[in-house]
Amino acid sequence: MNQLEKFGEVDTLLFDVDGVMTDSSLHVLENGQLLRNMHTRDGYALKAAVKAGLRVCIITGGKSEGVKIRLQNLGVTDIYVGIQDKLETYEEYVDIYELDEGKILYMGDDLPDLAVMRRVGFPVCPADAAPEIKKISQYVSSLNGGHGCVRDVIERVLKLKGDWT
């Protein structure tokens, strides 16, 4: 199956947050609060994916309440934060919804994503992902994390399904 066909087969989208939905930078306030930058076009695409009926799930090691609220406001309901073992959470998610792993796209950027990316049918990453992640990815976005890479993959999936407007 070629890369274009892979995008068309996807029915579930899984994403990491830091380094994928954000540019990996953290702004540390004096009170210790951490602020992240998220791309509005990624948000538009996430909302479009939910509206089109795709399953969207977030698995992140971060614990930002602001990120969680932002994603909920976009319609994402499956949000797992503060996750140390992403593979364990992934396996539970697949079991709960009885998913076909071959139709799952996972976008990650660094070593904590490696185990899950080895399991899914379509591992993808941002342009600035760690070398180990790029090596196992079947698609490397031309865009960096936090700069529209999430929209890039969602738009490709939805266009092939005729659901991109």
Topology (CATH level 3) of domain 3-161: Rossmann fold (3.40.50)
HSE-CB at 32 with a 13 A cutoff on CA atoms is 0
Tell me which residue has tokens 């698995």.
59
Whether the per-residue pLDDT at 165 is higher than 80: the answer is no
Q: Which residue has the tokens 């792993």?
A: 101
Phi/psi zone of residue 68: left (φ > 0), alpha (ψ -120 to 50 degrees), beta?
alpha
Over the stretch 7-61, which tens digit does the pLDDT of each residue have?
Answer: 999 999 999 999 999 987 667 778 877 667 778 899 999 999 999 999 999 999 9
Q: What is the pLDDT of residues 93-105, one digit of tens each?
A: 999 999 999 999 9
pTM of this structure: 0.93
The domains of the chain are located at 3-161
Cα separations (Å) of 17 from 42, 77, 100? 11, 15, 23
Instruction: Judge contact between 96 and 114, C-beta under 8 A.
Output: no
Gap between the Cα atoms of 75 and 132, Å rounded = 32
